[in-house]
Each structure stands twice: as C-alpha cells, then as structure tokens.
C-alpha cells in the first residue's frame, strides 16, 4: 500500500511529459514505464540534495590558520567592512550595508547577477592569484578592481599557458577567448563526428597522402599505380544513415560522436546525398505533430531509432527505411502519406523492426509501407535490385571504374570458370558473366543472395549460379571435392579474408586472383599468405572510393608463379642398349628409401614384447641423452625438469639400448 501512495504523489503532468498516453499503452507495459520514471526522479532528487549538502559543507569549512590562509568568509567580511566602514554582521543596518556591497560587486562583474556569483567575484578570484599568508592580506581596489582583478597577499605573475597571451603572458578572459577569431572549417561538427578526417585538407593533398600510404604499405609486394581520384569529391554517398534521439524537448538526428553513442545533430553533410539529408530533415520535423517519440538507448523506450535513405545514381529511385524499436507504428499510414506529399520522389518506404540492445542498425523483420520494398540502379551496363540489407557500393562513380578495372585485369576470354567470392548482390559476377564461360557466386547474406538471383534474371544472365554459404567453407568444400576454377574474384569485408580461404584458392588451382579490398592493412596481411602458397602480386591500383576520409579501395592482380626455366629430358625404360631397366630402378629406389621415423611408442612396444616389462618415456630419453643422441623427439623433456629425475635400472638400460640397435638408431 505504501508503494501505491508513493505513486499517486507523482503529478500526472510529470508522466505525460515523458511520453504520450498512446506510447504508454501500446509500446511498453505501463507499470514498467512508471517505475522507471519514479526511479529517475528519485535518483535525480537525491543527487541534487547530495550536491547541495556537499557545497554547503565545503563553504562552511575553514582552513587552518598558517596552512591555507583564511576562509573566503573571513576575506569577504573584511572586504565588506572596508567598503562600508563596518564589520559584516547580522543587524538590519549591517545587512543593508552588505546588500550595498553585494550590489557594487555585481556591477564590477557585468555577467554575475546573483549573490553567489557576486560573492565568487569578490572572493573567488583571490584563490587564483596567490595564497594569503595567514597573518595579513593586502587588498587593492580602484583601478585594479575596475579591471576585474583583486589581489590578496603576494603579487602573482601567471605563467604562459592555456588561456594566456603568448606575448604579454597575461591571462585572457573567457569573453576574450570567445571573441578571438577561429578558423572555420567546411563542417561545424567534423571534429566530433570523426567521419571526414581530411575534410579541411585540399583534395590534391588527400590523394598524395593516400598514395604515399599505399606505397609504404604495399610497395614491398609489387608496383603501386597512381590513385584514381574524383572530379567532384563531395556529396557522393548514395546511402545515408541517421540516428535519432531527443534533446531539450526536441527530436534530433545525426551521427554518433566518434567512439561514443552520443548523438551529434547534423542538418547536412558534405559527403552525403543532399536529397537524402533533406528527407531526413522532413521526417525529423514530422515527429512532433504525429507524437512519435524517438528511441532512448538508456531507458529502452521510444519508437524511432534510425532512418536509412538509399538513392539510385542512374535511376534516381529513393528508398526510405524507418528503423523502429517496436512493430507498432501509430498512424503509420497517415505518416507515410504525409511524407510522400512532401517528397513525391520517394519510390518505396520500409519499416524495419530492431528491438535488440546492440549497435546493429537493422533488425531481422521488415514491413513494406509503400512501394515494392526495393529500388533498382544501373552499374556498368547492368541493372541491380537493392533492398534495405543489401551491400551496394556507396560511391557509384568510383565503383564504375573499380569494377571495370577488376574485369580488365582478370583477362577473361570467354572460356574461363570464374568464382565470385563475397559476391553481395552479384554485381562483379554478373558484369563478368558476359565475358566468361561460367560464374559461381557465393555470399553469406541470404537477402543479398535473393537479390543476386533476381538481378541475374533481370539482366538475362544464364551462366551464373549463386550459393548462400560462408566463402571459406564453400572454398574448402570445392577443394575437398577436387573442383577447379580459373579465376577468383574476391571482395571481402574490411576484416579481409581467411588463411583457410587463401589456401583453398591454391587447392582449386586458380591461375588468377583479383582481390578488391577496402582495408589496406588486412590486404597486406593476406598478400603475405598468397605469396607463401605461390601467388605473386603483379600490381596494385588504388581508388579513392571515400574522399575526405582516410579509407582507400584497392584492386590487386595476383598470378600463380611459373618456373623461370625448363629442362627437357627424354628417358626410355626397358631392356636393350640405351634403355634403363625397370628392375634396376626399383632396386635403387628401395635402397634409397628414407628410413622410417622411430618413435618412443615403437621402442616401448618392442621392449614390452621381447622382455615382458614396460619402460617409461623418461628412461628412454635419459639413455638417449647419455648416448649423445638428439633429444627433439622426447615428449616429456620439459616435465622431467620440473620433477626429481628417476633413473632406470641397469636391466632396463640394456633393454632400451637393444631396442635402439634394432631400429638402427645406434
């Protein structure tokens, strides 16, 4: 009963400030929601109360004389006494004098308007400019007071540092620092976003820096060709993602601050599609009128989490994905209708449900609210279907060059069997199919595989097959079955490929490998593995797929090594002059047959069969050590040293020596 009485003390308005009645009744159990509000309110009140108590105790606390000087109370009362000619006290006359002193203190500090600020102004600055000696304090008012400085004790000269003028060594006020001119960049939130590391760097310098980085990282493997830049390195991203939140009573949208989950509000972005930014801004403005609450990661309440916008480069089609924490979307039909009225260019709208407490943007379930649920675009003369979860390069201009270079380096003549690993929606494989005999695509994402199958049908490509499987497992299965391919096209994620996959490439006898990489570090790692198994990098072609950022896309051509020279020998077997008898070859082969490796297990089995007793491995190791034999075969050598060594009996020593003679070890 006590719990309910506490509950009803909470004003009803307090509850409805947090969420609308519709959200309380439809999205989450109302009692959990109320309990959470009460906890937050109680915790907040306790925190405020504790802070006030701490401040009160700290203000009352006076330092011991001779150590830290007098308290600010003493200094302030002395200052009030000098200003009014009377010592500060509690009588009405003295209180009036104190108020006048407060007023003068406030006038000297134009920004302070309350008594606490005036007191800080009158006494707080004493602490910044030296310590009182505990006996006497000199105070200067007048000109120095007009300059907002009050000195007690010894005169202190501040050292040059943060907030100080480098020439005069004087501290600059906060107002002067704010007035100081600051260099303006192209984006006001670039330092917080962290997405565009090179935004304020001239584009020519960006390309030069990336070229030198690729040369330093990959130059030891092969030649690094000149990087392919863009004519217009802005607003190239055709995929835009915005995270939504709530701040100061208003919905906000933007990006996560670098290495945090703090939302940085963003209206427009220098590398994102401008129409996509405009649509996101429209959605943000509609939330209040439709009473849609944004999702709160801390409490787990709210509806809208993210908005994803994808735009076709050649088709101009636009897909909007609304990521919600619940499948219940109040007034979704009216919301979609209003959004389409403001942006009739939208082709399809999809609701994606993500109720997991993870960093993943998209969930598993989707509902098509308008249109087909996907858009189509054209790349290298082929049409491709793009769904919300499909991987599709975000820079279509550079992608045209990237894939064109990959197909060119593959050197297809129409007779090759090609494997497209990590194929996504089948872009590279479908483009290569017209120049190859057969193409096999493998992709782990089931949605992407479905799109790939549809893309092949849409482009009337019949010599390609797609498999939904892990690329490494698929390659290992091909190698185990003895299957072969001529060319491997691989475009792995930023984490790179696996050693097992690379070794399987050699097992399927691929002559050429085209490695498309978005991670130069992992590319360098994988090239080292390729070289070990006989593949030589022939060249690296960098592509600036992501201008204004530190990322670089690369295409690498690898060819299987061939012998530098050949020696031709004709040998005839049989009986007669000039021929080598087969029997003599067999005898020589038997004579030069390598000896079987003698193991400890073989020695122990021989002794037990001949002498009828067992010997420990440590005994065999000791006999071998005494005979000066190599000890690399002793499995218990380390364990022997950790324990007191046991010595074999003379009988067992002779048995071990007999076994070593039998196996021709001695």
Catalytic residues: 518
DSSP 163-181: TB-TTT-PBPPHHHHHHS-
The half-sphere exposure of 243 on its side-chain side, counting CA atoms within 13 A, is: 20
Q: How far is CA 654 from the centre of its chain?
A: 66
Dist. CA 2–CA 6, nearest whole Å: 6
User: Strand, coil or helix: what is 58?
Assistant: helix
Question: Tokens representing 589?
Answer: 């082969």
The count of other CB atoms within 10 Å of the CB of residue 584 is: 9
Strands 438-443 and 250-256 turn out to be unpaired
Cα torsion through 205, 206, 212, 216, rounded to 10: 150
Give the start-end residues of each E strand in 248-399: 250-256, 263-265, 304-311, 318-324, 346-353, 365-370, 375-379, 382-386
Structure tokens at 247: 């701040």
What's the rounded Cα separation, in Å, for the pair 182 and 202? 19
Whole-number Å distance between alpha carbons of 511 and 399: 25
List the alpha helices (DSSP H) in 68-126: 72-84, 92-108, 115-123
- Nearest CA to 557 out of 497, 502, 503, 514 is that of 514
Q: How far apart are CA 575 and CA 571, in angstroms?
A: 13
Residues 293-323 as b or e (16 or more Cβ within 10 Å = b)? bbbeeebebbbbbbbbbbbbbeeebbbbbbb
Q: Which residues contact 625 (CB under 8 A, 6 or more apart)?
A: 631
């Amino acid at each position: 009963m006590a719990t309910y009485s506490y509950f009803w003390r909470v004003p009803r308005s307090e509850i409805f400030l947090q969420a609308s009645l519709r959200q309380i009744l439809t999205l989450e159990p109302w009692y959990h929601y109320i309990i959470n509000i009460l906890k937050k309110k109680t915790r907040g009140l306790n925190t405020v109360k504790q802070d006030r108590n701490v401040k009160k105790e700290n203000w009352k606390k006076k330092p011991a004389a001779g150590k830290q000087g007098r308290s600010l109370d003493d200094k302030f009362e002395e200052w009030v006494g000098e200003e009014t000619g009377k010592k500060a006290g509690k009588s009405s006359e003295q209180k009036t004098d104190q108020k006048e002193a407060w007023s003068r203190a406030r006038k000297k500090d134009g920004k302070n308007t309350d008594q606490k600020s005036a007191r800080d102004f009158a006494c707080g600055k004493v602490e910044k400019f030296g310590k009182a000696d505990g006996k006497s304090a000199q105070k200067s008012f007048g000109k120095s007071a007009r300059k907002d400085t009050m000195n007690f004790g010894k005169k202190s000269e501040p050292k040059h540092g943060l907030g100080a003028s480098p020439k005069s060594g004087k501290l600059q006020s906060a107002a002067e620092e704010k007035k100081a001119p600051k260099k303006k960049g192209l984006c006001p939130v670039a330092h917080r976003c962290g997405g565009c590391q090179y935004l304020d760097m001239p584009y020519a310098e960006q390309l030069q820096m990336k070229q030198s980085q690729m040369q330093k990282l990959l130059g030891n493997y092969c030649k690094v060709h000149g990087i392919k830049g863009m004519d217009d390195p802005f607003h190239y991203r055709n995929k835009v993602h915005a995270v939504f939140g709530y701040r100061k009573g208003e919905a906000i949208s933007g990006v996560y601050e670098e290495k945090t989950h703090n939302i940085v509000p963003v209206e427009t972005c220098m590398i994102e599609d401008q129409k996509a930014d405009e649509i996101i801004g429209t959605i943000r403005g509609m939330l209040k009128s439709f009473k849609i609450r944004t999702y709160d990661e801390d409490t787990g309440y709210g509806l809208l989490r993210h908005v994803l916008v994808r735009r076709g480069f050649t088709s101009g089609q636009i897909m909007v994905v609304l990521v919600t924490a619940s499948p219940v979307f109040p007034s979704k039909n009216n919301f979609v209708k209003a959004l389409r009225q403001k942006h009739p260019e939208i082709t399809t709208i999809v609701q994606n449900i993500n109720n997991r407490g993870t960093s993943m943007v998209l969930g598993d379930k989707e509902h098509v609210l308008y249109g087909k649920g996907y858009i189509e675009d054209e790349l290298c003369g082929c049409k491709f279907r793009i769904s919300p979860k499909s991987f599709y390069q975000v820079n279509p201009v550079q992608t045209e060059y990237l894939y064109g270079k990959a197909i060119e380096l593959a050197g297809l003549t129409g007779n090759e069997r090609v494997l497209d690993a990590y194929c996504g929606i089948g872009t590279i494989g479908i483009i290569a199919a017209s120049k190859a005999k057969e193409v096999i695509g493998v992709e782990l994402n089931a949605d992407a595989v479905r799109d790939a199958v549809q893309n092949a049908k849409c482009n009337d490509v019949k010599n390609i097959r797609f498999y939904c499987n892990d690329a490494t497992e698929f390659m290992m299965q091909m190698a185990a079955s003895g299957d072969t391919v001529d060319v491997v096209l691989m475009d792995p994620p930023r984490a790179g490929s696996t050693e097992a996959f690379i070794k399987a490439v050699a097992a399927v006898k691929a002559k050429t490998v085209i490695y498309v990489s978005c991670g130069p570090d992992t590319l360098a790692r994988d090239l080292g593995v390729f070289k070990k198994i006989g593949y030589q990098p022939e060249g690296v072609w960098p592509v600036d797929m992501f201008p204004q950022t530190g990322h670089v896309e690369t295409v690498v051509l690898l060819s299987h090594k061939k012998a530098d020279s050949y020696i031709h020998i004709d040998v005839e077997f049989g009986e007669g002059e000039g021929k080598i008898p087969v029997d003599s070859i067999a005898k020589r082969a038997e004579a030069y047959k390598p000896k079987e490796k003698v193991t400890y297990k073989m020695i122990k089995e021989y002794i037990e069969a001949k002498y009828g007793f067992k010997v420990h491995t440590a005994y065999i190791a000791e006999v071998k050590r005494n005979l000066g034999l190599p000890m690399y075969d002793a499995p218990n050598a380390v364990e022997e040293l950790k324990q007191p060594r046991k010595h074999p009996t003379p009988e067992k020593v002779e048995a071990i020596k007999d076994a070593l003679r039998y196996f021709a070890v001695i």
